[in-house]
Amino acid sequence: MEVNNTTAETLYNGTSGDLLTSNYSLAPNTPINQNVSLHQASLGSCSQDFSLFSSEIESPTMAGSSALLQLAPDNSTGLNTTFGSTNLSGIFFPPQLNSTVNETASPELPDPLGGLLDEAMLDEISLMDLAIEEGFNPVQASQLEEEFDSDSGLSLDSGHSPASLSSSEASSSSSSSSSSSSSSSFSEEGAVGYSSDSENVDFEEAEGAVGYQPEYSKFCRMSYQDPSQLHYLPYLEHVGHNHTYNMAPGALDPEEPKLPNAGKKSSKEKPSEFLDKQMSRDEHRARAMKIPFTNDKIINLPVEEFNELLSKYQLSEAQLSLIRDIRRRGKNKMAAQNCRKRKLDTILNLERDVEDLQRDKSKLLREKVEFLKSIRQMKQKVQNLYQEVFGRLRDENGQPYSPSQYALQYASDGSVILIPRAVADQQVRRQERKQKDRRK
DNA sequence: TTAGCTTGTCATAAT
DNA sequence: TAATTATGACAAGCT
C-alpha cells in the first residue's frame, strides 16, 4: 500500500450533476486531502468470476463517469505480486460498522472477501473433501471431474488381472508318479499354469511353470504341491494333504494303504508307505483299476493326444470312466488353485489401492489446510489494505469518511471508488442472490 | 476340542 | 456339442 499525493486527480473522478455527488456531498473538484493510490490493490487481472466487479455493480456508480471517488491504480509497487494473478479481485466493500466505532481511527472492518472466498473457493475445496470422505461416490466423483477437470488416474489396477491361463493346458501338474515323458506337449515336471510368489521360486524352474504370474502374494502358497517334491523339502512334508474323504468304503484297491496316521510321519515309516500316503485318491484309484498310464498324462495331455492314448489301449468302461473323472478332477483342481490365487491377488491389489487412496486423501487434506491458511493470510492482507485506504480518505472538510456510510468498491477496470454504504450493501445482496440462483 | 486355514471336489455357468 | 475354464460352496484334513 502506497500513498501517493501525485495521483490526486485520479482519485476523484466526479462530475457535476452526478447523482452520488449530489446525494453525498462530494462535489466535483473537491480535493481529497490525501489521495490514495491503490495500485497495490489493483487487481488488474481480476476475473469475470468475481461478479462483485461486474458491470452490474459498476453501473450505478460508474455510469457516466460519475463515481465519487476513483482510486486509480498505477504501476509502481504492487500487491499484484500477491494477488495479481489470482482471482482475488476483492471488492472493497466495507463492513457495516457499529456506530460506536471510532470512524477516524482505522475502523474495524470485517473481511471484505469473506463471502467470495467462502462461497466460491471453499465450496470447491469442501466438495473435494466431501468426495474423499464419502468414499468417492461415483456421481460426486464425476462432478468433481467435471468441475476440476480432474485427472487422478486412479484405478483399481485391472491390469493385474490374470493373463490368459490357457497355457495351463499345455503345462502339467506333477503327481507322485514319476512317469517318463512320452509327449512333447506337456512337461512331466508339471506346472499348474500359474506361478505365483516367492514361495514358488524354488520350484519354478523345476516345474517349468508358465502362465499367470502375479507380482507377489503373501497369501499364495505352493501351487499344486507335488508330494514328490517333499522328498527334497522335508520341512514341507507336513503340507501335503491327502483328501481321500470322498472315497466310498471299499472303493479303493484292497491293496491301497490305509492311513491311520495320515499327516503324521512316523519315524518308522518306510519310504514306500510315505509315497503311498502322498498319492492322491485318484492315483490310488488309477492304480487299483490298473490304468496303464500316469495321471499326469491323463490330466495334462491335449484332448487329441489324450484320445489317441485311450485308443491305444483296450480299456473297460469302468476304466474309461475313471480316467475321464481323473482328467476332469485334475483339471478342476488346477483351476481351483488358480482361481484361489487370482482371488487373493485381487484382494492384495485392492488393499494396495486402498492404501494409495488413503495416501492421496492425506495429501489432499494437507494441501487443503495449506490453501486455507494461505487464503486466511490473503484475506487479512486485503482487510488491512482496505482499512488503511479507507482510513486515509478525507472528505472536502478534511474529515474521514464514515465506514457506516461509505464503502470502497473495486471496479473491473482496476479503479477503486467510494460509494455509499447502502448501494454497496444492495449490490452485495443482489450478488448473493445471484450466486444462490446459480447453484440451483 | 475347537477354530481357522488349506485343499480337493462337485455343480454350474461361461467360454 | 464337447471340452475346458472359472468360481461358489462344501467337506475333510491339518495345525
- What would the grid cell of residue A261 be? 496316521
Strand C positions within 7 A of protein Cβ atoms: 3-9, 11-15
Phi, psi of A412 (to 5 degrees): -70, -20
Nearest nucleic acid nucleotide to A224, CA to C1' distance: B7
Domains in chain A with CATH codes: 278-378 (1.10.880.10), 402-439 (no CATH)
- What would the grid cell of residue A359 be? 495416501
Threshold 0.75, pTM exceeds: no
Can you tell me the distance from the alpha carbon of A290 to that of A255, in angstroms, rounded to the nearest whole number?
12
Can you tell me the distance from the alpha carbon of A66 to that of A16, in angstroms, rounded to the nearest whole number?
8
Q: In 10 A of CB A50, how many CB atoms?
A: 21
What distance lies between CA A276 and its chain's CA centroid?
Answer: 54
Q: Which residues in range 376-395 of chain A are in contact with strand B, contact meaning CB within 7 A of any of its atoms?
A: none
Q: What is the pLDDT along chain A (440 residues), one digit of tens a residue?
A: 333 333 333 333 333 333 333 333 333 333 333 333 333 333 333 333 333 333 333 333 333 333 334 444 444 333 333 333 333 334 444 443 333 333 333 444 444 444 444 444 444 444 444 444 444 443 343 343 333 333 332 233 333 333 333 333 333 333 333 333 333 333 333 333 333 333 333 333 333 333 334 333 333 333 333 333 333 333 233 333 343 333 333 333 333 333 333 333 344 455 566 666 667 788 888 888 888 988 999 999 999 899 989 999 999 988 999 999 999 999 999 999 999 999 998 988 888 999 999 999 999 999 999 999 999 999 999 999 999 999 999 989 999 999 899 999 888 888 888 999 999 899 889 989 999 998 87
Cβ neighbours of residue A126 closer than 8 Å, sequence gap 6 or more: none
Q: How do A2-3 and A416-420 pair as beta strands?
A: unpaired
DSSP string, A72-134: ---SSS-TIIIIITSS-----PPP---TTS-SSS------TTHHHIIIIIHHHHHHHHHHHHT
- Give A314 CA → C12 C1' in Å: 35
Cβ neighbours of residue A430 closer than 8 Å, sequence gap 6 or more: A56
3-state helix, strand, coil in chain A (%, to 5): 50, 5, 45
Q: Which residue has the cell 468414499?
A: A135
- What would the grid cell of residue A244 be? 481321500
